[in-house]
Structure 1
Amino acid sequence: MATVLSVSGSPSATSRTARLLRHLDERLVAHGHQVIPLDVRTLPAEALLGADFRHPGIVRAISLFEQADGVVIGTPVYKAAYSGLLKSLLDLLPQRALEGKTVLPLATGGTVAHVLAIDYALRPVLASMGPAHITPGWFTLDKDIRVGEDGALTVEPGSAEALAQVTDQFSAALGGRISLLAAAG
C-alpha cells in the first residue's frame, strides 16, 4: 500500500504524544501500510537550530518526507500551538515538502482550551506546504492517555474510538491516492 512517515514533534523521551503515534502506527501497519517513525527529538539539535540543511541527519529527514505517500504529524500543544521542536523541523523542509501527500495532524494537551491548536496553528502551516489532502485531525487530552508500568498504552474509550476513526479515514484517503497514482502511471 502506502509509505507513511509518522512524525513526533515532542521533545520528551517519555512523551505521551510519541507513544500515541506509535500505537496508531500499529493500526496503519494492520491496514497494510509501511510506517516509518521519526522522532524529531532524535535529530541533531545544533543542525535543527542552526538551519544546517547539509547535516546528514537533516538530509535524511528531508529524504523521508520525499519518500512518503502520507505523513502523520503529532505534537504536544504548548501555549496554544504546536511544539517549537516541530516548528524547527518544518522550517527546514522545502516549501513544497508535502506536495501531493495526504496528511493527518494530531495533537495532545492538558486542557480542552488547546483543542483548536490543530486548526488554527498547525493546519495552516501544513497547508502552505502543498499537501493533496489534510484529513480531519484529532486532539487528545493528556488525561486520556495512560502508560502502565510495563509500558503498555491505554487510551480512554471515547478518545480511542475517535483516534481509530481519524486513522482509518487517513488510511482510506491514502488508499485512494495510491489508486489514482497507479491509474495515472
Structure 2
Amino acid sequence: MKIYTKTGDKGQTSLLGGNRVSKTHARIEAYGTIDELNVQVGHLRDFEVNKQRQENIIQIQNTLFTTGSILAAGAEASKFKLPELSESDIIFLEKEMDHMDDLLPPMKNFVLPGGHLAVSAAHQARVVCRRAERLCIHLSEKEEVPELIIKYLNRLSDYFFVLSRMITKELKVEEIPWKPDKK
C-alpha cells in the first residue's frame, strides 16, 4: 500500500465515510490536533522517568486514536464498527490523578512549567490537549461531537498537569511558584 494518494493535493481530504472536506475544516483541525497530542504523548512516554507508567501512557495513546477515529467518522460513525470511548476511560484518569495527588504536596500557587525536559514534555502535552479540547468544543457548536470526547480531553489535560508535578517530585526538580509582579 502506498502512503501517498495524491487525493489531497488540492487542499481537500476525505472523512472516514468518504465525504470530501477542506483540510482546514473544523473536524480536520480537531482530529489533527488529537493526532498531534498523541505524538506529544509518545514523546512524553520516551522519558526514563515514565517507564513505570508506560502501560498507562500507552492506554492513553490508544484512547486518543479511538477519539480521533470517532471524530474522523463524524455523522457517518453509525455506519462503521469503531472503537468506543467510555466513562471508564475518564474514571481511569481520575483514579491515576487521585493516586498521584496522594503523593504530592498540596498546591499553594500556580507553578511555572519547566525544570526538566520530562516535566516540560508533560506541560506540552497538557497545552496541546487543551487546544484539542477547544477545537472539539468549536466543532460541537456546528456538528455532532460526543460529549465524552470533550469530557475526556478536559480530564486528560488535568492528568498531564498532575503528571508534570509528579515527574517534578520524582526527579527532585524544584517546583517554581508563579509570583505575579505587583507593580
TM-score (norm 2): 0.31
Instruction: Report which of the two has the higher share of strand.
Output: 1
TM-score (norm 1): 0.31
> Which fold has the larger relative contact order, with Cα–Cα distance below 8 Å and residues 6 or more apart in sequence?
2
